[in-house]
A = this chain, B = another copy of it.
Amino acid sequence: MRVLWVSAHPDPRSLNGALRDEGVAVLRERGHEVVESDLYAMGWNPVVDHGDFAHDPDKRLDVLTESQRALETGTLSEDIRREQAKLLWADTLVVQFPLWWFGMPAILKGWFDRLFVQGFAQGVPDPATGRAMRYGDGGLSGRRALVVTTVGANAATTGPRGIHGDINDVLFPILHGTLWYTGMSVVPPLVVNGTVCLSGPEYEAAAERLRERLVALPDTDPIPYRRQNGGDYDEHLVLRPEHAAGEEGIRIHYTGPGQTEPCETTGGPTEADR
């Protein structure tokens, strides 16, 4: 594999830093190529603004239009182009972060906001139909994506009936709305729970689980999300009534009755989340 590993923690001595080092090491041991984007170490600027597009700040900024124009004319800012090139080189994307307020840290959200411009990751037309490719097809198709996230809450509270909501549903905007949207195959996330008080043995278990997931990654079945152009959605992009009949909610966007591969979790459900 050619792996781009994107991480977003302010301290390399953190749990996230340690897991990243384990992960990158096992990939290299297995002969895979790994390139890193350590967003904090890079001082990554996460804020979309006029400067991204060499756009006159005295004029109104239409982000979609200007981002596509800048992409096509090669005038996207240099930091964006460098990261896009790393992503295009890769066949595998690992996105690793501590879950903050049930989402990515801002520095990482802004990596997607700034890189995934109109015409690059989204809004790429199908040559055959002229219709924008999306969900299972798109600017980044042919790539595989794995999310690795650390969560303070324990596994019970982010489980199917836990108070925080099922972690697979909470991550839907990232897994489905960002990675799958742009054409990537998305494997089930690796969720490390209970990180506020992770013991030594729990850390070792988490690192071992990460190594196993990385070694198995080329052969891991992706989450069975429905494809936009696979026939399940009608001309308005609404799920046809014969699929998940009478149901609503996030789970209807899987081709099966639910998630076929359970989310991997580590960390015990033995104590209430703090």
Interface residues of A (CB under 8 A from B): 10-11, 13-14, 40, 46-50, 60-64, 98, 100-107, 109-110, 112-113, 116, 123, 131-132, 134-135, 152, 154, 156-157, 159-166, 169-170, 172-174, 176-178, 196, 226, 228, 233, 235-239, 244, 248-253, 258, 269, 272-274
Contact = CB atoms under 8 A, between A and B. Distances in A.
B163 A239 contact: yes
20 contacts: A13-B60, A46-B106, A48-B106, A64-B152, A102-B177, A105-B109, A105-B110, A106-B109, A154-B236, A156-B237, A161-B252, A162-B238, A163-B226, A163-B228, A166-B248, A169-B249, A170-B177, A173-B173, A235-B272, A249-B249
Nearest to A49: B10
A116 B101 contact: yes
A177 B165 contact: yes
A98 B62 CA distance: 12
A103 B109 contact: yes
A248 B64 contact: no
Given A10-B49, A173-B102, A177-B102, A135 B163 contact: yes
Contacts of A104: 103, 109
A61 B109 contact: no
Contacts of A162: 237-239
A170 B239 CA distance: 16
A249 B174 CA distance: 17
A110 B103 contact: no
B107 A46 contact: yes
Contact of A170 (B152, B163, B173, B233): B173
Given A11-B60, A47-B107, A102-B174, 14 more contacts: A10-B48, A10-B50, A14-B61, A14-B62, A64-B196, A101-B112, A134-B163, A156-B236, A162-B238, A163-B253, A165-B250, A166-B248, A169-B169, A237-B272
